[in-house]
Amino acid sequence: MALRLAPPASGDSPIFDPSQLRPGMTGVGRTVFQGVTPEEFQVEILGVLKNGIGPQQDMILSRLHGKNVERTGVIAGMSGSPVIVDGKILGAVSYRLGTFEKEAIAGITPLGDMLKAADMPRSPAPTLAASLLKEWENPGTIAAAARSVPIPGMAASLVPIGTPLVFGGYPESLIREVTPLFQARGLEPVAGGGGQGSGEDYAIVPGVAISVPLVRGDLSIAATGTLTHVEGNKVWAFGHPFLGTGSVRYPMARAEVIVTYPSLLGSFKIANSTSLMGTLLQDRLTCIEGELGAAPVMLPVSVSVENPGGNRQFSFEVVQDDALTPILVGISVQASLQRILQYSSETTLRAEIRVESAKHPTLSYTLVESDIGGVQSAAVGGVAREVAMLLNVIYGNRFHELQVTSASVKVVSLPEARLARVSEISMSPSQVRSGEDLTVRASVQPYRGEPFLKEFKVRIPPDTPRGPLNVLVSSAANLNGLEGGVLQQRFNGSPSVDDLIRFINSLRQDDGLYLQLTRRGLGAVVQGEALPALPLSVLYTLGNNRFAGEEYPAPDLPVLEVVEKIDFVLTGGRRTAIQVR
């Protein structure tokens, strides 16, 4: 689709110098209240707040007039609305005076400060992934962003105008769950369409609506603001940060405003993101800045569910970003499963997760989640968070940036709880020699079911020395908990991305019953590999601080481990010992 740019005059318009402003001067602003055509409103200059945005970055205080803004006040979604004084561009409407305001008092970011964003380095953005996932798991850890600007002599502060984040296809309960997460970053989640519509291919001029689509397809999430300025193929918008992540590569798209909703708590626009129009490159203190043309490649994601009611599949694309991709995919997977599954009580989900990336092995991981009741949130939420954590490992790896090409989640669902615990174990014979066979029987107690026996027949390794041998029959979760330090060191010690992926692929499965034989000995984890028997001199060397990052002394490591698959999500474990003669 060809892009229609602003007329040359808009790019050549001179900039109004804020130092020439005087209280009482007037101008006009432009923004879209409905549809795609900008409408004008009047702007009265109140004064200039020195260093109001930051050091040597002033904020212009103004009062807005006009039938629309006097009815709605300052609107979430009008961030970036250009202000023209004496035919020159002054800046962007970008800040508001709290809530319940009696007048539409707004802060304006000078255009001169916004233009500087284009000259900033294209350095990697600081990652927010760990904090985002932590806050999703534990909402009590969310802290509001400190972006307010106090007004001298007033018990009030100017805050960035909220950016509407329109969710399309997401359950209302999930939107409520993640709202604090996004509100803390200046975004205002809104339930609505928000998806890509056909939309009018309008000219890209100051005052039109602009969106940043984060998710597109069967589900959609898009942020909406207003375009401030166009120079050639460069555009500036918002007048304040989107997420403040610095150098980025997010898609930019046109937007069609469906309605502007007036509210004393804060009016906002609901809009559809329409045709893609370029790439957002900078997310800085004073604005977002991008280039018109091709949009960046997004991550294709598919979620398919097989259940007694039939098979369904959702497909969508997610922005490629170290910080945002993991949590956006996790939220979208949870929405997909909640939309497809209708169970309100017992649920068991078996999920196969695959992540493809160029020039690296496929990440392939299976998990099983089961829930005895509730509105399916425990099992569904467990799958979604696991997907997010796995993607966080890939996008946040310490080696180099990966070109992730696709992600898929295939779920088989049953309307019953398949839960069980390990209750008892027994062995025969009671003593063995190295190289001899050992039979271990485990009693498994299902949730609301009859117990059953699972039998292991193993051979004691020929090189096993005499002495006690620990015998553990356990669930994956229990065994991983016992080996937490060793697993963490194996993860940290992975020498490459490929080894990191292979480590994840080898992790124990939730529906496995594990038999592990261990003995107290001299062992270590070296570059992610478990070595169960080492000379004292080697262990002493590994204990030296110079090697502490990649090697980890571990005196109790497995001699043998086998697994039996069972159709349950297991918990617990039992331990005993046997004497090797």
In this predicted structure, what is the pLDDT of residue 252?
A: 97
- Exposure of 130 in the CB half-sphere (CA atoms within 13 A): 4
pLDDT in tens, 116-167: 988 888 765 555 556 777 788 777 766 655 455 555 544 457 889 989 999 9
Nearest to 128, CA basis, from 213, 248, 211, 237: 248
Do 525 and 552 touch, CB atoms closer than 8 A? yes
In this predicted structure, what is the pLDDT of residue 84?
A: 96
How far apart, in whole angstroms, are the C-alpha atoms of residue 207 and residue 227?
5
**pLDDT-based confidence at residue 410 (cuts at 50, 70, 90):** very high
**pLDDT-based confidence at residue 406 (cuts at 50, 70, 90):** very high
Q: Is the pLDDT of residue 2 over 50?
A: no
**pLDDT-based confidence at residue 273 (cuts at 50, 70, 90):** very high
The predicted model gives 305-323 an average pLDDT of 92
**pLDDT-based confidence at residue 3 (cuts at 50, 70, 90):** very low
Question: What is the share, in percent, of the chain residues with pLDDT greater than 90?
Answer: 62
pTM of the model: 0.86
> Comparing 182 with 556, which gets the higher pLDDT?
182
In this predicted structure, what is the pLDDT of residue 100?
A: 60
- Coil, strand or helix: which one is 420? strand
Residue 34, burial from CB neighbour count under 10 angstroms (0-12, 13-18, 19+):
middle
Provide the 10 A C-beta neighbour count for residue 377: 16
- Which residues in 493-509 are b (16+ Cβ under 10 Å) and which e? bbeebebbbebbeeebb
**pLDDT-based confidence at residue 108 (cuts at 50, 70, 90):** very high
